[in-house]
Structures are given as C-alpha cells and as structure tokens.
C-alpha cells in the first residue's frame, strides 16, 4: 500500500480537533503544545507537555496518533519536547476565550485581581491554591458568588 503524502498544514488542521482531556473545550493547538510537524519521513509531531508531571501527556500523545491514523496516516511518531518548557503564554487568544466561556479564568500576567469569567467582576478571592488539577486554582467571585477556577500562569 502506498501512503498518501501529507503536509504539515493539513496535519495541523486535523490536530486542531484533538481535545485536551482535562479541559475538553480546548484543543491541543489552543494550548500551543504542538511545537512542530515534520512530514519528511512519515509524520513526526513534536509536543511539549504543559508541565513535566502532567497526567494527560500520554493520553494526548495517544489521541494525536489515533486522530492521524483515523485520517489515513499510518506512520505517526511523537517527539516529546521539554525545552523550552511550555508556558501559558502559548495559549492562543481563541483558547483564552474558550476558557472564559467554559467558566475558567484564563492565565494573565498582571498585578490586578483575577476577573470572574461569568460576570467580569474583579472582586474575587482565592479559595485554594489548588483546583481540580495542579495547573488551576480555586476562586470565588464576591459579586455573583459563583465559584470558578483560574488557570495559573506558568
């Protein structure tokens, strides 16, 4: 069987449909963890984990392989890239908007308080440094009284 040649733009488009297993409203391209796609000898996708101990890393890698195999790519390899380390600065603007709509305050490098993703109030308080995953913190809005999570800056 002769495999069809694939290009990196097509592969990236397909990867933009692969959801993050911990925050399914985000894709791996929204997170900015797809660092490179090499189609010169099969397909090699370079991924940077959000942090070295992230339990979703292997699930994401398997999801990438499955998504590409489902599209007819039979020779898929994953290259895990640890340097430079992932940073929340790599989250796309679209990804940040998706987080807000989902009810998670996106990471922001600023000195003012974290805004509530539901009502935009900056009258918020941190309830716990740790949320449902290590990369999030638990917050509460003092205006609308709703709890929410904040995606920590890394």
Per-residue model confidence (pLDDT) at position 2: 44
- H or E segment at 97? helix 93-102
Per-residue model confidence (pLDDT) at position 115: 94
Strands 34-38 and 147-151: unpaired
Taking the C-alpha atoms of residue 4 and residue 99, their distance in angstroms, rounded to an integer, is 36
Do the beta carbons of residue 138 and residue 126 sit within 8 Å?
Answer: yes
Per-residue model confidence (pLDDT) at position 4: 63
Question: pLDDT tens digits, the chain, 154 residues: what are they?
Answer: 445 688 999 999 999 999 999 999 999 999 999 999 999 999 999 999 998 788 899 999 999 999 999 999 999 999 999 999 999 999 999 999 999 999 999 998 877 889 999 999 999 999 999 888 888 999 999 999 999 999 998 7
**H helix and E strand count, the chain:** 4, 7
The SS3 call for residue 80 is strand
Closest CA to 20 of 44, 46, 55, 72: 55
Per-residue model confidence (pLDDT) at position 132: 86
Do the beta carbons of residue 128 and residue 147 sit within 8 Å?
Answer: no
Angle at the Cα of 90 (from 96 to 45), degrees rounded to 5? 115
């Amino acid at each position: 069987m002769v495999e069809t040649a694939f290009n990196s733009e097509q592969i990236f488009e397909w990867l933009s449909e692969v959801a993050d297993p911990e925050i399914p409203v985000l894709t791996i391209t929204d997170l900015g963890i797809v660092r490179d796609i090499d189609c010169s000898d099969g397909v090699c996708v370079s991924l940077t984990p959000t942090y070295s101990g992230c339990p979703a890393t292997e699930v994401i890698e398997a999801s990438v392989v499955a998504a590409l195999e489902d599209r007819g790519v039979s020779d898929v390899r994953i290259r895990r890239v640890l340097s430079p380390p992932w940073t929340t600065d790599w989250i796309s603007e679209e990804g940040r908007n998706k987080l807000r709509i989902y009810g998670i305050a996106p990471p922001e490098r600023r000195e003012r308080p974290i805004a509530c993703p539901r009502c935009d109030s900056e009258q918020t308080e941190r309830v716990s440094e740790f949320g449902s995953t290590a990369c999030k913190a638990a917050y509460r809005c003092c205006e609308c009284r709703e709890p929410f999570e904040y995606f920590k800056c890394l």
